[in-house]
Amino acid sequence: MALILDLPLQLLQIVLVVAIAPLMMGVTRKVRARLLRRVGPPLLQPYHDLWKLMHKEAVVADNASWVYRRAPYALFAITWVAAGLVPTYATGLLFSWSADLIAVVALLGTGRFVLALAGMDIGTAFGGIGSSREMMIASLAEPAMLMISFAVALIAGTTQLSAIAALFSTGEVGVRVSLGLALLALIMVGIAENARIPIDNPSTHLELTMVHEAMILEYSGRHLAMIELAAQVKLVLYFSLIACLFVPFGIAGSDAGPLHLALGILAWLAKLTLFAVLLPIAETSVAKMRVFRYPAFLGSAFAAAALAVFLRFVSRGF
C-alpha cells in the first residue's frame, strides 16, 4: 500500500526536475540579459532551443565511435538520476536512501568522466583541451565537495540528504558558523561544476577560454540537446542541493498530506527561482578567471569547507 502512494511521489520529483530545468536556465539567461541592458530571450526559449535541436539532423564526425554517440544519453541519464535522488519538495521519498550525498557527488563524477571521454573521441585539439581542463577542475573541486559533506555530516550525524534536510528543516540546528562556511564553499564548487563565470563561461565560443563548451564542440542536433538538457538538470540539482542543505524550510516531511506536499513544491520552486535570479547577479559582478587562477578559487572553497570541519572540533556550538 505504502509503495503505491510513495512511488508516484518519487516519480513526480523525477519528472519535475527535468520539466522545469530549461525554465530555470531561461530565468538565469533573462536576468543576465536584463543586467547587461539587453532585452534577452523569452523565458521559455530553452524549451524552443531543445525542440529545435531535437528535430535537426545530427552531424557526426567520420571517425566518431560509439563512445561519442552514446555519451550524451549516458550523461543525461546520470545527471537525471542524481537530480532525482536529491530531496526537492519532500524528504523521505521512496528511493531517497539509495544514494547519499557522497554517492550523488560521485554520480556527477561519472557523468563528467563520460563527457570528458566523449570530448577526446574525435581526436581534435579542442576536445582534448576541454577534457583536460575539466578533469583538472574536478580534481580541485572534489576534495572541497567532500569537505563540505564532512562539515554537514558532522552536524547532522548522517550523510543521507533526506535525513539532513529533515533535521535542518526543524530549525533545531540553528544558524552556525560552520554551516555558513560550508554554504560559501558549496556555492563556489557549484559555480565551478556548472561551468559558470568566473570559472567557465557557458556562452563563450572564444577558443582559449572554453572548458565545457570545448568538450562538446563537435556535438549537434539531438546529441547536443541531450547534453544541454543534462547541463540544465545539473544546475537544478545544485540549486536543490543548496536548498535542501541550507534553506530546507517548507520542505514536506515523509508523512505529509497533500497540502504540505503542494506547499513543498511551491517553496521549492520559489527557492529555485530565487537562486536562478541570484546566480546571474553574482556572475555579472565578476570577471572570468584565467585557467591557472582556478586553483586559488577552488582552493579557497576547500579552505572554507575545511575550516567548517575544524570549527566543529573546537566547539560543538559552531
**Per rule CB under 8 A, is residue 302 in the interface with other proteins?**
yes
**Per rule CB under 8 A, is residue 160 in the interface with other proteins?**
yes
Q: Which is nearer to other proteins, 219 or 275 (CB)?
A: 219
* Binds other proteins (CB under 8 A): choice among 109, 180, 250, 253: 109
Task: Specify the stretch interacting with other proteins by CB under 8 A; choose among 127-135, 179-187, 234-242, 262-270.
Answer: 127-135
- Considering only residues 26 to 85 of the shown chain, the ones binding other proteins according to CB under 8 A are 54-63, 65-67, 73-74, 76-78, 80-81, 84
Structure-derived torsion over alpha carbons of residues 169, 174, 179, 183, reported in degrees to the nearest 10: 50
Task: Specify the stretch interacting with other proteins by CB under 8 A; choose among 26-34, 145-153, 261-269, 282-290.
Answer: 145-153
Helix (H) or strand (E) holding 134: helix 125-156
Task: Specify the stretch interacting with other proteins by CB under 8 A; choose among 31-39, 104-112, 185-193, 245-253.
Answer: 104-112
* Binds other proteins (CB under 8 A): choice among 12, 41, 204, 222: 222
The DSSP bridge partners found for residue 215 are none
**Per rule CB under 8 A, is residue 254 in the interface with other proteins?**
no
Tell me the torsion sign for CA atoms 267, 270, 271, 272.
positive
| In the complex, minimum distance from the CB of residue 14 to other proteins, in angstroms, rounded to a whole number | 8
Residue 89: strand, helix, or coil? coil
**Residue 213 CB partners (closer than 8 Å, separation 6+):** 130, 195, 200, 202, 204, 205
Instruction: Tell me how far apart the alpha carbons of residues 181 and 159 are, in angstroms, rounded to a whole number.
Output: 18
Task: Specify the stretch interacting with other proteins by CB under 8 A; choose among 23-31, 39-47, 177-185, 291-299.
Answer: 291-299
* Binds other proteins (CB under 8 A): choice among 17, 179, 309, 311: 309
| In the complex, minimum distance from the CB of residue 22 to other proteins, in angstroms, rounded to a whole number | 15
- Specify whether the CB–CB gap between 43 and 23 falls below 8 A: yes
Q: C-alpha angle 223/189/103, rounded to 5°?
A: 70
First-to-last CA distance in the chain?
A: 43
**Per rule CB under 8 A, is residue 139 in the interface with other proteins?**
yes
Residue 137: strand, helix, or coil? helix
Q: Which is nearer to other proteins, 92 or 202 (CB)?
A: 92
